[in-house]
Structure 1
Amino acid sequence: MAVLPRFLTDPQIGRHLLRDEGEVIVDEVGKHWVVYVVPVLIAAAGLVFLIGSAVWSITWAWFPMLLGLGLLTWAGWKALSANLDRFVITNMRVFRVHGVLARSLATMPLGRILDITVVKPMTGRILGYGHFTFESAAQDQGLRDIRFVGRPDERDLSIQRVVQRSGLRGPKVN
């Protein structure tokens, strides 16, 4: 039996696909493992407070116990939120699904992608993650910044490959 129901732990990407139009997933990108470091540290602090509450007097033990439970809950929420944040590349578009209780879906057709900027900070170059910035003709869009993408160079090449195969950039010149 699962601790959390499946609808809380699975972003259910398949229900957003246009299967009758022939849309298939090229790549589904979850967050890089580095986003889980802070929730793990917060959870460890929560455990320290929970265990530490045993050495306090019975009249004051409730305070570190509540603090520890609060930190564990917050860390679990942050980790679950990172787990449900998915960036998906299909043969027709790119989209992002995120949110725990309320889900958000931001979509951009491949034809509207004008420019992709890949930023790899120094820690990202060492640990293998980067951030994407999508530019399109629209000023405000829901799919602009995708942060903590693992293997960003490979993901950028797969997007460029899908755009090229779809014929949106014109034929290759020899």
Structure 2
Amino acid sequence: MSGPLAWLDPGVERYLLVEDGEQMRDQVTRHWAASVWPGLRFGVGLWILAGAFVFTSWFFWVVLVLSLAVVVNAGWVLAEQFRDRFVVTNQKVYRVHGNLNQLRASMPLTRILDITVDRPVLGRILGYGHFVFESAAQDQGLREIKWVSEIDDRERLIQRVIHEAGLGTGPTTTTGTEDDGT
């Protein structure tokens, strides 16, 4: 991304350990449903901001300041949600988020003990869910990942990557035909 909105790209590729053979398997942005409430606040704030100009008294300034505060806050939340990325690589999972202060948390695949998938009723209808990662560490920076679209597919991908890394247990299943070279 280039231009004035380039700061919206969190640049998650730069945190890959390419020299160690790390490859990105998936980059997850927040589901669109997470942006509905801030988007509504942004739109209503703009509508009220435009309507503030019909007032000619001190009330104009009150409506102007309040609507500007709503628009700025909602815009900030929307930008924060856009910059929130969850990345699965062949060696670790990590999350990058934040507008001014960028926060990064990662967990090697070897540390993932349990993955819990929370699919609320609305999430089942709209196609999102939340991950809860459990590890041996008591306090970890990568515990909950919310608003993950196609969460079942993403869970299977993480399980597959763990298995391919030789960290999983259980039988291997293959689909399709294999070419034995004859």
Q: TM-score, normalised by structure 2?
A: 0.89
State the one-letter code of the partner of 1:141: Q
State the one-letter code of the partner of 2:70: L
Give runs of ≥4 in structure 1 deviating > 6 Å: none
> Helix, strand or coil: the match of 1:149?
strand
Q: Do the aligned partners of 1:116 and 1:135 also contact (CA within 8 Å) in 2?
A: yes
Taking the aligned partners of 1:53 and 1:47, their CA distance within structure 2 comes to 10
> How do 1:1-174 residues align onto structure 2 when only pairs under 5 Å count?
2-4=3-5, 6=6, 8-170=7-169, 172=171
Structure 1 residue runs of 5 or longer lacking an equivalent are none
Taking the aligned partners of 1:76 and 1:66, their CA distance within structure 2 comes to 15
State the one-letter code of the partner of 1:84: R
> Helix, strand or coil: the match of 1:141?
coil
| TM-fit CA distance, 1:172 | 3.0
| TM-fit CA distance, 1:151 | 0.4
> Helix, strand or coil: the match of 2:59?
coil
In the alignment of these two chains, the number of paired residues is 172
Q: Identity over the aligned pairs, expressed in percent?
A: 47
State the one-letter code of the partner of 2:50: I
Structure 2 residue runs of 5 or longer lacking an equivalent are 174-182
State the one-letter code of the partner of 2:68: L
